[in-house]
Copies of this chain bind each other. A is one copy, B any other.
Amino acid sequence: MTRTKSGDKKQAIFDATLRCVLRTGFGGLKMAVVAKEARVATGTVYLYFRNKEDLINALLLHVKAEIHTAMMQDVETDDPFFTAFKKSMINYIDFCYGSPEKMIFIEQFYRSSYLYPETAAEIEQLALPVLNMLRSARNEMLIKDIDRELMLRQLLGASNEIIKYCIDSGRPITKLLREQILDMLWSSIRR
């Protein structure tokens, strides 16, 4: 069995899609272009995805899952909250800065008519671990008494904008900058 099996091709299409969208936004997602970028025939894309909508939904779910997994990497259940918070936010920032195409793809398609309600529902589940982390912190009176969901959005929204700014302006995320970002995020929610 060669190493070039079906899973690889699906992944190649995913990667190509992300590259296309990073390059020219949602307008860059054209089936023929994606196929060429993935070095497969146009028809091949349709062997792995029913249509464009399906490709988008599958990729959204895939990328969102990746981000959430990365975010909770090395976060132990018995970490003190501040440690866990710091780890997860650094994970998030580093992941997004390192894979801007994934962040951009989500931004472009998460709020679009392409998104199936079922995909949205599945994606919601992915945020549960982080939300739980915030819940215990609030129970311990470590953070402000504000709707956790809203708080999470605030944190990620702030991070996203910062990351995009760094990418667009070619500014690297240094150790110092990361500390500054974390400081802003932490002070926004700490009690």
Q: Which residues of A does B touch, CB under 8 Å?
A: 24-28, 104, 107-108, 111-114, 144, 146, 149-151, 153-162, 164-166, 169, 180-181, 183-185, 187-190
16 contacts between A and B (CB under 8 A): A24-B112, A25-B111, A26-B112, A108-B108, A144-B183, A144-B184, A150-B162, A150-B166, A153-B165, A155-B158, A157-B157, A157-B160, A158-B161, A184-B188, A187-B188, A188-B188
Min C-beta distance of A150 to chain B, whole Å? 6
Q: When the two chains form their complex, are residues B149 and A156 in contact, meaning their CB atoms are under 8 A apart?
A: no
Which chain B residue has the least Cβ–Cβ distance from A114? B27
Copies of this chain, complex-wide, total: 2
Q: When the two chains form their complex, are residues B156 and A161 in contact, meaning their CB atoms are under 8 A apart?
A: yes
Which chain B residue has the least Cβ–Cβ distance from A28? B113
Which chain B residue has the least Cβ–Cβ distance from A157? B161
- Whole-angstrom CA separation of A51 from B172 in the bound complex: 38
Please name all residues of chain B whose beta carbon is closer than 8 Å to the beta carbon of A24 when the two chains form the complex: 112-113
Contact of A113 among B27, B111, B113, B185 (CB under 8 A): B27
Q: When the two chains form their complex, are residues A184 and B154 in contact, meaning their CB atoms are under 8 A apart?
A: yes
Q: If A113-B24, A180-B144, A184-B189 touch, does A154 touch B162 (CB 8 Å cutoff)?
A: yes
